[in-house]
């Protein structure tokens, strides 16, 4: 399913690959559907990454995220899914995604997932990452 979504993502060449620099992109208008209740959820995504060969094109990122508008997904999973898609398409040196959702039932939730390079699976991110 997500493979289809990621087809909309485009990249462009990173003209400064010799430098490890950081791009932070904030998308305060993310919305998806709760798979349990069928009601819309709303949140703000903060993507931070160090590009390697390519950068993520911002308009394509916007269109990619719009696909979740009528798509059911739990907070924890959608955050990990989007991170997987962005890593697959842009092969960054490092990437972190923070998704902060608006309150439901008096409770609000923020999910933080991080990709730290090829060897990162199974590695423990610093616990302070949620801040």
Residue 61 binds its own copies, judged by CB under 8 A:
yes
Closer to its own copies by Cβ: residue 7 or 129: 129
Residue 43 φ then ψ, to 5°? -160, 175
Catalytic annotation present for 55: no
Q: Which of 1, 3, 107, 119 binds its own copies (CB under 8 A)?
A: 107
Query: Which residues, including other chains, have CB under 8 Å from residue 64's CB and lie 6 or more apart?
Result: 5, 6, 8, 9, 85
Tell me the two tokens of residue 4. 């289809």
Catalytic annotation present for 20: no
Angle at alpha carbon of residue 114, lines to 113 and 115, rounded to 5°: 140
Tell me the two tokens of residue 63. 């269109």
Residue 66 binds its own copies, judged by CB under 8 A:
yes
Q: Catalytic amino acids?
A: 34, 41
Interface residues with its own copies (CB under 8 A) are 14-16, 18-29, 31, 39-40, 42, 48, 50-51, 55, 58-59, 61-62, 66, 69-70, 76-77, 79-80, 93-94, 96, 102-114, 116, 120-125, 127, 129-130
């Amino acid at each position: 399913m997500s493979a289809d979504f990621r087809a909309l993502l485009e990249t462009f060449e990173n003209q400064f690959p010799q430098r490890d620099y950081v791009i932070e992109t904030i998308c305060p208008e993310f919305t998806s559907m709760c798979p349990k209740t069928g009601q819309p959820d709303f949140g703000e995504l903060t993507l931070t990454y160090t590009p390697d060969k390519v950068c993520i094109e911002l308009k394509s990122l916007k269109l990619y995220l719009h696909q979740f508008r009528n798509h059911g997904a739990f907070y924890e999973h959608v955050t990990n899914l989007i991170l997987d898609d962005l890593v697959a398409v842009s092969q960054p040196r490092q990437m972190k995604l923070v998704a902060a959702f608006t309150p439901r039932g008096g409770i609000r939730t923020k999910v933080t997932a991080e990709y730290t390079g090829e060897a990162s699976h199974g590695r423990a991110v610093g616990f302070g990452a949620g801040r």
